[in-house]
Structure 1
Amino acid sequence: MVIHSLGEENSLLNKFVAEIRDTHIQRDSMRFRRNIERIGEILGYELSKTLNYRNQAVETPLGTKEMAMPVDDLVLCSVLRAGLPLHQGLLNYFDNAENAFISAYRHHRGDEDAFEVIVKYFAAPSLENKTLLLTDPMLATGKTLENVLNALKNHGKPKQIHIISVIGSQSGIDHIKTVFPKNTQLWIAAIDTQLNSKGYIVPGIGDAGDLAFGVKL
């Protein structure tokens, strides 16, 4: 797996990541969603440099100009509900992409820290020989992405997979390396070193879905 950890370089990306971490700023759910969206735009722009392009003649009022235009068939797949702002940020740039959505949630038995990831809803076009952009803002244990990958198998084999995340744990990244194809590329804004006993990233940001859309029952 090729890992692009963009937060290791100085850029405006780090400002947006700092704001979604900040306990005072993240109280503003609209600003939180917009920052996730902007992070998606930056990650998508960097990812776009690795896609395939072909020269195409573009007509202007005064003549023609050869321009390099993207040619990959893209499918943008996001994990509900936390992935929606990240999905929108990527869709702002990859506006011709097909879209897929999958629900995946942690099921805890009673008060136990251990959990399983349950996938209940999935809607997607064919992935056969397409480029899959798979988004999950918080790459914690990697179990969610593993289950999503298993759910995708009945929809065709993509020629390339790009995973887009905002913050991940090193152990989660190490896990998905073992289950995704070797040519998979990960685009991520920040990597944290620890997980707590409940499988949340430390220092992380907390629960991205709750911060974006409100606390659930």
Structure 2
Amino acid sequence: MNIHNISEKNSVLNTFISEIRNVNIQKDSMRFRRNIERIGEVLGYEMSKTLNYKTDTIETPLGHCDINLIENNIVLCSVLRAGVPLHNGLLNYFDTAENGFISAYRHHKENLKSFEIIVEYLACPNLENKTLILADPMLATGQSMVTTFEALKPFGTPKEIHLVSVIGAQEGIDFVEKHFDSKTNLWIAAIDEKLNDKGYIIPGLGDAGDLSFGEKLQK
């Protein structure tokens, strides 16, 4: 798997990451959502540099102009509910993409340390021979990313796969790397050191879904 950690080079991305982590600023849910969206835009821009292009001729008011345009057939699929702001950011840049949505949540059977990922809702177009962008803002254990991808397999085999996350733990990245082939690309804004004993990223930022949309009742 090809890992693209965008924060390895200093950019304005640092500002957006700092604000979603900051316990004082992240309390503003509207700003939190917008920062996740802006991070999606940055990751989408960086990803766009690796896509396929073809030359097209467009007519201007004063003549004609040749320009290289993306030729990939993109399907953007995001994990609900936390993935919605990230989805919007990516869609701002890939505005002709087809869209898919999948739900995934942790189901704790006996205690907070042990859980399985449950998928209950899935809506997705045909993926056969297309470019799949699978977006989930928090890559903690990696189980959600792998489980949702398995759920998408009946919709066809993508030509290429791009995984997009805002923050990930190294343990989760290692887990995902074992389940995707070497041609898969992971685009991520920051990589944190570890998980706590409940499987949450440290230092992370908390629960991205709750910070975006309010606290939820646990199932």
* One-letter amino acid of the structure 2 residue matched with residue 210 of structure 1: D
Equivalents in 2 of 1:150, 1:56: separation in Å?
36
Deviation of 1:170 after TM superposition, in Å, equals 0.3
Partners of 1:113 and 1:164 lie apart in 2 by 25
Shift of 1:111: 3.7
Q: How does 1:141-180 map to 2 (within 5 A)?
A: 141-180=141-180
Structure 1: unaligned runs, 5 residues or longer: none
Q: Which runs of 4+ in 1 moved over 2 A?
A: 109-112
Structure 2, unpaired ranges of 5+? none
Q: TM-score, normalised by structure 2?
A: 0.98
Give the aligned partner of residue 201 of structure 1: 201
Distance 2:175 2:56 in 1: 41
CA distance in 2, matches of 1:118, 1:94: 29
Helix, strand or coil: the match of 2:121? Answer: strand
Residue identity in the other structure for 1:196: N
Deviation string, structure 1 residues 42-61 (Cα, Å, up to 9, x no partner): 00000000000011001001
> In the TM superposition, what is the alpha-carbon distance from 1:213 to its structure 2 partner?
0.2
User: May I ask how many residue pairs the two structures share in their alignment?
Assistant: 217
Q: Does 1:126 pair with 2:109?
A: no
| 3-state secondary structure, aligned to 1:181 | coil
Tell me, in whole angstroms, the C-alpha distance in 2 between the residues paired with 1:42 and 1:61.
Answer: 31
Secondary structure of 1:26's counterpart equals coil
Residues 105-151 of structure 1: CA deviation (Å, up to 9, x unaligned): 00112543211110111000000000000100000000001101110
Other structure's SS at 1:149 match: helix
Identical aligned residues as a percent: 63
Alignment of 1:1-217 (within 5 A): 1-217=1-217
Residue 92 (structure 1) shift: 0.4
Q: Secondary structure at the match of 2:26?
A: helix
CA–CA separation in structure 2 for the residues paired with 1:93 and 1:112: 38
- The CA RMSD over aligned residues, in Å, is 0.7
Normalising to structure 1: TM-score of the pair? 0.99
Q: State the secondary structure of the residue aligned to 2:56.
A: strand
